[in-house]
Structure 1
Amino acid sequence: MIPEASVSPWRIGDPSTPVVDITVPYANENRNRVLLSEWRRQGGERVPAPPMLLPRHSEGTYRARIWKQNLLDFFLEDQYSDALAGSTGGPGGHLEDRIVTSVTLSGEWRFTTQGQRSTAAAGMVCVRRNEDPWDFEIARGTRAVTLVLPASEIRFPANLRAVTAEQASPAAALLLAQLRLWAELADGLGAAAAGAARNATLELFRGLMNDQVIDDAEFAPALLRAAMGHIETRLLADPDLNPQGIAAALNVSVRTLYRAFGQGATSPVMGYVRERRLECARAELISTRLTVSEIAARWHFADSSHFVKAYKKRFTETPTAGR
């Protein structure tokens, strides 16, 4: 028994019943035919067998174990594999309408397609688009959790086929925690709760992608709109609104947030917050009987003198002039 292959740390599917559980001696002359035949028998349509080849060794055995769990239109696989090479192409193979994410727990996956290479080492997350098949190599003793979701749900950068991130990064850690919890609780969730878990996971996945590829022109505007929307809802409620809190709410780094405002806004993050508060304050000066001091306090200015100075700089008149 290989200890690494015996227990699923993610509790995906039935721990006692992997969908695929294969052992093939490396020295077997017919090892590839035996592997493919047994994989097809066990996995069937649920886990289709990709084109694959085993290396030739004089001793030892190849071991593969896969657990699978469907989560609405997503699915998860907990995969253990010894050294193997293959392709995601072929009949039933490469899920061309899906995004495939490998969360490598031990060992290493190496992927190649159309001149692009990507490595999913232990501690990394590798997100791949699959219009074209990938050639892959797996190191001995590799364990990974694979998430597969519809490609139509993710705006992938046009010039990239793979994106990698550290599992310990905030956006990735949050996504993986949500995904693992959903997998553990899925059997007990009703339809509404399962749908909410699915949508929350998708939003966190988008947050991870935005955090990694924000320099792409398709992603910066989306993040900027999301940040402005969040700011709008917190303008009055949160006197301590700041870039750190905004970035955390959107699952991106502060640096990424600053870049998004630098690319698509006329002012930096806190400059935008101040402008919106001044505009809201001006509307209340015109439409209410609140005093200047009351409005200054309401919109979180330090005092009325700071408010008057900022107001005059923004609108070239004093707050009382417009009344």
Structure 2
Amino acid sequence: MAVPNEPGSSATFAAEATAPGTAAARFGRFWREWEAQLGKKQPTPHFAPGSTGDFQMSARAVTAHDAVIADVRSESLISTYTSPPRQGDEQVLMHVVRRNAWRFARPREGEHTVPAGHFMLQRMGPPTFEQARRTAATVLIVPTAPLARLILDRLITGPASSAEMRLLLGQLQLVEQTARDLTPAGALAARNALLELVEGVLRQQADSTEPHLGPALAQAVKDLADSRLADPDLSPSMLARELGVSVRTLYRAFAAVEDSVAGYIRRRRLEQASLELLSPVGRPSISELAAHWHFADSSHFIRAFKSQYGRTPAEFAQTDTGDEPDTHPSRRA
């Protein structure tokens, strides 16, 4: 993938290259779609499918300044890419694999198989063999300049579960959700935050004191809290420990998004409890819900529930309208 020469605020891209035809023809259609939709002509990387190569993949992407975030799904990819570097126009490519595995190889680096839950980061330029079948990944492309000294010509791999990667993934999600509404200045700030966080991954220590990283940290906290809502040990201190930041830094990040860590956890637990109250079968009792979602007692749970929904749990369960709370992450505060 290539980044436009003259970055604007943001753009979107969607293409599917799975139709019948040769691998080279599918690749060509993919790149023509890229240029047509983003409106920026850019020489493409050289694609060498070879005698057994293939190129069947789809992608949806957003841009922020000269950074690209893409949801890539590969049905069958067997190929070698080269990207002849041009002065001032080099790029860093990161794959965060979400399903199955993506295999990368270079003559001097050997082979790296990156399974789901892991990432691979490289500077584009040296020829790289890639193979991916029925694989899904989040792909990030950013300028090389601020990161070159840390990457050199290496293929860098690691788990996506580290504190630094969680911060980066939080920022990726945030940019994907807001890219279409960003001003040019906002897009540049979002891109700079991505560069800062990628550097944190490379250094294995993200500088979470930077003010522009607050929203990314808050998003990472929310994602981690959502995965641990039923954990009795879930707390600001546990989240801070898991993300490698201080509790004070955690509170400061949430203050920037006008929320509190404890308030977010309580609201999400109540949302989950409300869904259980709407279940037509196997509905738990109020005391069971209070215990499962770690409220001090039934009275505390009832008060918190009524404060959030304007009705007691019993009244909520008996409603005829079935008003279900909106629990979609992209629409939560």
Q: TM-score, normalised by structure 2?
A: 0.50
Mapping of residues 135-214 of structure 1, within 5 Å: 135-138=129-132, 140-157=133-150, 161-211=154-204
5+ residue gaps in structure 2?
Answer: 1-9, 36-40, 211-240, 247-333
Q: Which residue matches 1:21?
A: 16
Q: Aligned to 2:245, which of 231, 242, 248?
A: 248
5+ residue gaps in structure 1?
Answer: 1-11, 213-222, 230-243, 250-323
Q: Which residue matches 2:22?
A: 31
Matched residues in 2 for 1:245 and 1:84: separation?
35
Deviations 1:89-108 (A, max 9, x none): 16799x97111100111122
- Indicate if the aligned counterparts of 1:55 and 1:83 stay in contact, CA closer than 8 A: no
> Mean Cα displacement is larger for which, 42-51 or 160-169?
42-51
- Indicate if the aligned counterparts of 1:175 and 1:204 stay in contact, CA closer than 8 A: yes
Q: Which residue matches 2:49?
A: 53
Cα RMSD of the aligned pairs, angstroms, is: 4.0
- Decide whether aligned partners of structure 1 residues 40 and 49 sit closer, same or farther in structure 2, where only a CA change above 3 A counts: farther
Q: Give the CA deviation at 1:147.
A: 0.6
SS in 1 for 2:204: helix
Matched residues in 2 for 1:41 and 1:65: separation?
13
**1:119 maps to 2:119:** no
SS in 1 for 2:126: coil
Q: Give the CA deviation at 1:73.
A: 1.9
Q: Aligned to 2:81, which of 81, 88, 94?
A: 88
- Indicate if the aligned counterparts of 1:32 and 1:54 stay in contact, CA closer than 8 A: no
Q: Give the CA deviation at 1:135.
A: 1.3
- Decide whether aligned partners of structure 1 residues 56 and 247 sit closer, same or farther in structure 2, where only a CA change above 3 A counts: closer
SS in 1 for 2:198: helix
Matched residues in 2 for 1:184 and 1:72: separation?
15
Larger gyration radius, structure 1 or structure 2 = 1
- Indicate if the aligned counterparts of 2:56 and 2:77 stay in contact, CA closer than 8 A: no
Q: TM-score, normalised by structure 1?
A: 0.52
- Indicate if the aligned counterparts of 1:97 and 1:151 stay in contact, CA closer than 8 A: yes
Q: Give the CA deviation at 1:246.
A: 11
Deviations 1:110-157 (A, max 9, x none): 11113213222211111112241211111x211111111111111444
Matched residues in 2 for 1:154 and 1:182: separation?
20
Matched residues in 2 for 1:80 and 1:245: separation?
30
- Indicate if the aligned counterparts of 2:104 and 2:129 stay in contact, CA closer than 8 A: yes
Identity within the alignment, %: 23
Matched residues in 1 for 2:45 and 2:68: separation?
17
Matched residues in 1 for 2:18 and 2:79: separation?
17
- Indicate if the aligned counterparts of 2:105 and 2:128 stay in contact, CA closer than 8 A: yes
Aligned AA for 1:66?
Answer: A
Q: Which residue matches 1:284?
A: none
SS in 1 for 2:158: strand
- Decide whether aligned partners of structure 1 residues 98 and 65 sit closer, same or farther in structure 2, where only a CA change above 3 A counts: same
Q: Which residue matches 1:103?
A: 96
- Decide whether aligned partners of structure 1 residues 79 and 48 sit closer, same or farther in structure 2, where only a CA change above 3 A counts: farther
Aligned AA for 1:207?
Answer: G
Matched residues in 2 for 1:246 and 1:75: separation?
25
Q: Which residue matches 2:33?
A: 42
